[in-house]
Chains A and B, each alone.
Chain A
Amino acid sequence: MLNASLKQLSLLLSEKKISSAELAGEFLARIKALNPDLNAFITVDEEKSLKQAQAADKMIASGQFTALTGIPVAQKDMFCTKGWLTTCGSKMLSNFVSPYDAAVVNQLDRAGMVNLGKTNMDEFAMGSSNETSYYGPVKNPWDRQAVPGGSSGGSACAVAARLVPAATGSDTGGSIRQPAALCGISGIRPTYGLVSRYGMIALASSIDQAGPMAKSAEDLALLLNSMIGFDERDSTSLQREKENYTQDLEKSIDGLRIGLPREFFAEGISSDVSSAVETALAEYRKLGATFVEVSLPNSKHAVSVYCVLAAAEASSNLSRFDGIRYGYRTPHHTNLEDLYTKTRAEGFGDEVKRRILMGTHVLTHGCYETYYLQAQKLRRLITEDFIKAFEQCDVMMGPTSPTVAFNLGEKCADPTQMYLSDTYTCTVSLAGLPGMSIPIGFGNNKRPAGLQIIGNYFREALLLNTAHRYQQVTNWHELTPPGINL
């Protein structure tokens, strides 16, 4: 049951073979046993969770339930959750109990899902290894020496270790796809604007997007169905008709044109990831897909563009943390200026401070045109490359991350190396396109490798269909880490 799909869990619940309270209890017991080692959760509150599960059981008993009612989920700790500590992985919010729910939390609550807790993450989602969290690093369940990826490392770890069947994540430079790849699970970053970001603590507002993380594409489709929708409280939320992502999952992909961006298979990709991707592509050939080489020539600048734009937007977004209205306030201050500067010096970690300094710098007079405007112009060129390439193909495929999970501590001293691990994901984010990652086997040290599938705007249904067909003929998504007993 701990390895069951959401569909199977829903069936067990609706047939009353198990209650939501029992299900929550089983997963909570696993969290209690395994979390001290994995550190995937920052906050767990059994009482709150069980209360929600009992309410879900009532919904089921009354016949008023959805495909997700009674199923446990975990929320990344950047989604404001009413009555729960919402830290965003930072000391700055170490005492912040949210007075309201994020849209995503609210939507999954309404669907009847049971929140099992708040997952660990890089501080303010700034990181690719989960090592910048104030609450300590998360371990990769496949290998405790390895990072889980980031910034949604806690969510990825929790799903991989079967501490919870599904979790939410957010993706700016690759924070859903990269940890999904490194932990051997599935995750999708939808088209920018599809999922409301109301109550999702902002990193880079022109790039941030929320999405689900789970074992399989089928599970993701079910979750996404309940996460999308127009929200007037998010000024970038798109007004469009809701799609049903489970409807076309089984469709044949015979004749699907898969674009292979030349730049994703050039220098930088490690040989173990490369061969895992080749094997996955061979499987797609058997499913009837055809391949065409495409080019994204400006993607080589994506990490630079991303660094500049994300830092600039973050420096602005994080100016709200000043120790006045909520969150941490320094106990030692002599005047208002001193209160601000000490609160921010003590409340933020090194990576967050570095990005605020960088973002402030690129926005200063004299640097604005050289860096910020140049990055925005390159962002357009990167996006136009994608639009042109999609004239030749239906989806694109390549590695999610250039390597399998690296060791804890390996890249901490050199932030530039850390940023380069987002090279294949952040380019997709800049264009605002949907992308997902699915497990495709293992590379060095038996650590998981991920395949990235990229779609044109609003082609989530095709992405999920493409991923699902692969998962019908492979079982990578069903494998669990060694030592993780079910």
Chain B
Amino acid sequence: MTLSLNDIKHVAKLARIEISEAEAQQNLIQLSGIFSLIEQMQTVDTQGIKPMSHPHDMTQRLREDTVTETDQHLLFQSIAPEVENGYYLVPKVIE
């Protein structure tokens, strides 16, 4: 599968990264190089092989549904770009 400039622009939009024409071109060249390497994976017949998502055969631990965290919003919001009355501020979403 070959990558196109439109693919790069599309995934940049999905990933919420603003990208210039020149950056898109540069990424196209470099990602095409990487994809020509990873394309070799297709030569292996993996039919019937179970995908491995994790090195250990384990399941998610469960715990009692009780409160474990204390309210530390003042501490956490002390490093936020913009807060007001305990809320994180963002540009207006609804007019």
Contacts and interface: CB of A to CB of B under 8 A. Distances in A.
Given A326-B79, A357-B31, A416 B37 contact: yes
Given A304-B41, A377-B50, A364 B17 contact: no
Contacts of A307: 34, 37-38
A235 B60 contact: yes
A93 to B, nearest CB: 10
Which label, helix, strand, loop or mixed, suits the secondary structure of the B interface?
A: loop
Given A336-B93, A377-B49, A381-B46, A360 B14 contact: yes
B65 interface: no
B17 A341 contact: yes
B79 A344 contact: no
Contact of B37 (A304, A327, A353): A304
A406 interface: no
Nearest to B51: A376
Interface in B22-81: 23, 26-27, 30-31, 33-34, 37-38, 40-42, 44, 46, 49-56, 58, 60-61, 63, 72, 75-76, 78-81
B52 A304 contact: no
B80 A326 contact: yes
B19 A345 contact: yes
Contacts of A339: 90-91
A61 interface: no
A215 interface: no
Given A193-B56, A304-B40, A341-B16, A357 B82 contact: no
B67 to A, nearest CB: 15
Contacts of B54: 206, 236, 432
Contacts of B44: 298, 301, 374, 378, 381
B18 interface: yes
6 contacts: A99-B78, A193-B56, A235-B60, A335-B92, A341-B16, A353-B23
Interface of B: 1, 3, 7-8, 11-12, 14-19, 23, 26-27, 30-31, 33-34, 37-38, 40-42, 44, 46, 49-56, 58, 60-61, 63, 72, 75-76, 78-82, 88, 90-93
Given A232-B61, A327-B81, A376-B51, 14 more contacts: A192-B56, A206-B54, A238-B58, A301-B40, A319-B16, A325-B80, A334-B91, A345-B17, A345-B18, A353-B19, A357-B17, A358-B31, A432-B56, A433-B55
Interface of A: 95-97, 99, 192-193, 206, 232, 235-236, 238, 298, 301, 303-305, 307-308, 315, 319, 322-327, 329, 333-342, 344-345, 348, 350, 353-354, 356-358, 360-361, 364, 367, 370-371, 373-381, 383, 414-416, 419, 430-433
| 10 nearest A-B pairs in the assembled complex, by CB-CB distance | A432-B55, A376-B51, A329-B81, A380-B52, A377-B46, A345-B18, A304-B38, A341-B18, A377-B49, A360-B11
